[in-house]
Amino acid sequence: MGMHWGEMCNNIRGVVTYSLSPYEQKAFANVISKGVPNMVRRIRGQIFRVTPPFIAGYLIYDWAIKEHARLQRKDPSEFANDV
């Protein structure tokens, strides 16, 4: 039929579609003037909710690694009488 996928039904009654060419859009419009301040505001608003669990998780992980290394060592006093 010469039609590609997505072009099988071009005329749908009652549906109006609008599009803007990607060459007419500004991909980074207002990034510096609005995007950076918004990012800083959002980080400041969430830092006290996100940081404590990460710190607690790191401390638990660090303790577990050190404790595992300590438990893997042999006690020399247990082997003092071996021949």
Total domains present in the chain? 1
Residue 31 maps to a domain:
no
3 has pLDDT over 90: no
What pTM value is reported for the model? 0.54
pLDDT (0 to 100) of residue 1:
54
Model confidence over 49-60: pLDDT tens digits? 999 999 999 999
Using the CB atoms, write b or e for 18-56: b if 16+ within 10 Å.
eeeeeeeeeeeeeeeeeeeeeeeeeeeeeeeeeeeeeee
Most confident by average pLDDT, 24-28, 57-61, 79-83: 57-61
Q: Please check whether residue 83 lies inside any domain of the structure.
A: no
Residue 55's domain comprises 48-73
pLDDT of 72 above 60: yes
Residue 31 sits at φ, ψ, to 5 deg, of: -70, -45
- Indicate the SS3 state at residue 7: coil
Token representation of residue 53:
């669990």
Residue 60 lies in a domain: yes
Q: Is there a domain that residue 57 lies in?
A: yes
